[in-house]
Amino acid sequence: MRRFRAFAKINLCLAVLGRRADGYHEIDTVMQSIGLFDELRCEPLDIPEIRVECDAPGVPEGEGNIVWKALERLRVRHAPGRGLRVRLAKTIPVEAGLGGGSADAACALGAADRIWALGLDSTRLEEIAAEVGSDVPFFVRGGTRRCRGRGERTDRVAPLPPSRWAIIKPSYGLSTASVYAQIRSALTADEARIRMFMGSLAKRDLSGALARTFNDLESAAMSVRPEAGRIREWMLGLGMAGVVLAGSGSAWAGCCPEGLSAERVRREAEERGWRAFVVEAVEQGWIEVEA
C-alpha cells in the first residue's frame, strides 16, 4: 500500500472571456495549490482492473468516479495488463471550487505511473488529464500556474511567496453549471489584470499580488446564493487580504495576516455554520507520503 496526497487549489485570478463554440467558457486564470488535501491509498492488483473506493457520502465509486476514468485511460494506453485499487479519503469539500475531484484524478495518474513503473513525463500525463476534466492538467504539476482555454493549457509562472490562507466553506455547495448560467453580460478579453498580477509575482511582491486578486464569477455566484457575500465581508473584517472566490464557489479564500490565529478563524467560522481550513500555499499538485 502506497499513500499519496492530492492538494486542492484556489484561483488567485479568474477571467471569463466568453463562450466557446464547443459550449465551454474560455477562461484565463492563475491557480495556486494549497495544503488542503485528499489522501489516496493505492495498491497494485494482479488483474487488469481499476477499483476506486471512497469514504465520502455522495461521492461516486467505481466507474462513476473521475479517478477511475483517468486511470482506465492510462491503463488501456500504457499498461493494459496492470490493475490498481485506490481507496480515497476525502477532506477537500465538494462543490466548493477547490478542485478536489480533479486533484484526485491527477494524483492517481502520477501514483499509477510510479507504481506501474511506466516512466511517463508530466506532458504525457497532462494529455490524459485533459481528456477527463478541464482542471485536471493543472494538478499534474501544481504550484502556481496560469491556465487558459477551458483551463487545460497550463504554464508555470513566478511562484506565490510563502503565505497562509484561510478557506471558508459554507454549508451549501454551488454547481459550476448553475454559476456559469448566471453570466449575463458580454465578456471581452482583458489580459491587463492578470499581467499586473503576474508582474507582482515576478517581483516577489505578495501585498501587491493580493491587491490584484479577482474572480469574474463572484457576482454570478452571489446571484445564485446572495448570502455568499457575507462570507467575503466577514473575511475582510478579520483583516484577510486577497479575498477571492475559489473557482465557481462555494468556498472563499483569503490570505491571513500575521497575528490572526487559525483557532480564531475556525471558531468564528463554525459559529456561523461554516467550515474553515487554514493552510499554506504549496508548490506541487500531489506528493507521495513516506510510509
Catalytic residue status for 135: yes
Rounded Cα–Cα distance for residues 83 and 64 (Å): 17
Q: Which candidate in 28, 104, 135, 216 is catalytic?
A: 135
Q: What is the torsional sign of CA 67, 73, 76, 80?
A: negative
Q: Which of 9, 69, 90, 169 is catalytic?
A: 9
- Neighbour count for residue 217 (Cβ, 10 Å): 27
**Beta partners for residue 179, in sequence order:** none
Query: Distance between CA atoms of 90 and 34, rounded to whole angstroms?
Result: 15
Whether 181 and 210 have beta carbons less than 8 Å apart is answered as no
CA distance 62 to 60: 7
**Considering only CA atoms, which of 90, 82, 129 is closest in space to residue 109?**
129
Gap between the Cα atoms of 94 and 88, Å rounded:
14
Active site residue 55: no
CA-to-CA distance for 176 and 94, rounded, in angstroms? 11
Please identify which residue in the block is written with the cell numbers 507582482.
200
Q: Write out the catalytic residue numbers.
A: 9, 135
